């Protein structure tokens, strides 16, 4: 999978950007180059959708018709989700969110996001803690111009993210794509964490802990984009109240995301 978001749409952690990319002989790529390369590497079955200059989503269906770890794409009401993994409690969650029995994980994630966006009763970290299984997903809300991404804590699904030549954020499960696109300015997406375009990076495993960047050294001894982990010894001291009923979760950031 591949997700690219314009610099004006999302502000990633500054530590992802490595100074080594500026002096490297191999330069980061522009988003259109990355999309072209991704499609050419899977010419027969790649699905690519572009949202003007704001975002691009690309998806390759799994070759195995009965995979143990699913790869799904779904679009509902101008919200789009790429999901990887599987949920053990999908049936119960479908009932909880009022979805049909045949709804898959990507449909569920979109409905969970919609509930959060429209001021559901639970904070985002609790919603993600209710997902029992292995998962990684990216949601793009084209109407609100928001991104919501998360990665489960069991490390069975992997995601990487980095910075393209024009400052866009790239998220993919393909390490080769990330390295070719972002050069030194990339890192693994932290497990047990979520990222929202307004709220930034947070841990849903340890929701009140601060995220600590850790310098990442590659095989050449060069400092690259930082890894992040929750500092469980620290606690956020600010209160996290919800916003007024007239406000929108995706735009105002009142909910904890």
Q: In what order do the strands lie in the sheet with 160-163?
A: 47-51, 55-59, 2-5, 169-172, 160-163, 186-188
Which residues of the chain carry a pLDDT beneath 70? 22-25, 64-69, 235-257
* Structural domain includes residue 139: yes
pLDDT at residue number 103 = 96
Report the number of distinct structural domains present in the chain: 1
* Structural domain includes residue 221: no
pLDDT at residue number 219 = 76
Q: Choose among 232, 242, 241: nearest CA to 208.
A: 232
Tokens 């590497």 sit at which residue? Answer: 41
DSSP state of 102: T
* Structural domain includes residue 149: yes
Q: How far apart are CA 207 and CA 126, in angstroms?
A: 9
State the Cα torsion 95-100-103-106 to the nearest 10°.
Answer: -60
State the Cα torsion 210-212-213-216 to the nearest 10°.
Answer: -140
pLDDT at residue number 53 = 87
* Entry field: residues in the chain: 257
Could you tell me the maximum CA-CA distance found in the chain, to the nearest angstrom? Answer: 53
Q: How far apart are CA 225 and CA 127, in angstroms?
A: 29
* Structural domain includes residue 162: yes
φ, ψ of residue 20 in degrees (nearest 5): -65, -25
* Structural domain includes residue 226: no
* Structural domain includes residue 218: no
pLDDT at residue number 240 = 35
Tell me which residue range forms the domain holding 114.
2-206
* Structural domain includes residue 80: yes
Count Cβ atoms within 10 A of the Cβ of residue 227 and give its class: 0-12 exposed, 13-18 middle, 19 or more buried. middle
Q: How far apart are CA 228 and CA 197, in angstroms?
A: 17
* Structural domain includes residue 152: yes
Q: Domain with 24 in it: what CATH number?
A: 3.60.20.10
Q: How far apart are CA 153 and CA 191, in angstroms?
A: 5
């Amino acid at each position: 999978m591949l997700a690219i978001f314009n610099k004006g749409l999302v502000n990633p952690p500054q530590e992802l950007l490595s100074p080594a990319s500026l002096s490297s002989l191999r330069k980061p790529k522009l988003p259109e180059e990355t999309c072209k390369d991704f499609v050419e590497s899977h010419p027969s079955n790649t699905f690519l959708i572009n949202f003007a200059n704001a975002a691009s989503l690309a998806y390759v269906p799994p070759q195995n018709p009965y995979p143990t770890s699913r790869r799904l794409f779904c679009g509902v009401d101008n919200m789009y989700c790429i999901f990887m993994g599987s949920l053990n409690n999908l049936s119960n969650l479908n009932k909880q969110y009022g979805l049909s029995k045949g709804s898959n994980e990507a449909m569920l994630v979109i409905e969970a996001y919609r509930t959060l966006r429209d001021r559901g009763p639970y904070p985002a970290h609790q919603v993600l803690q209710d997902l029992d299984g292995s998962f990684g997903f990216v949601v793009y809300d084209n109407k609100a111009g928001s991104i919501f991404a998360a990665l489960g804590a069991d490390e069975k699904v992997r995601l990487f993210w980095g910075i393209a030549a024009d400052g866009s954020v790239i998220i993919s499960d393909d390490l080769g794509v990330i390295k070719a696109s972002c050069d030194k300015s990339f890192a693994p997406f932290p497990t047990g964490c979520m990222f929202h375009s307004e709220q930034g990076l947070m841990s849903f495993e340890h929701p009140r802990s601060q995220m600590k960047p850790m310098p990442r050294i590659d095989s050449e001894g060069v400092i690259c984009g930082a890894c992040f982990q929750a500092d469980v010894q620290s606690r956020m001291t600010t209160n996290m109240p919800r916003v007024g009923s007239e406000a929108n979760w995706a735009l105002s950031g009142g909910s904890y995301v």
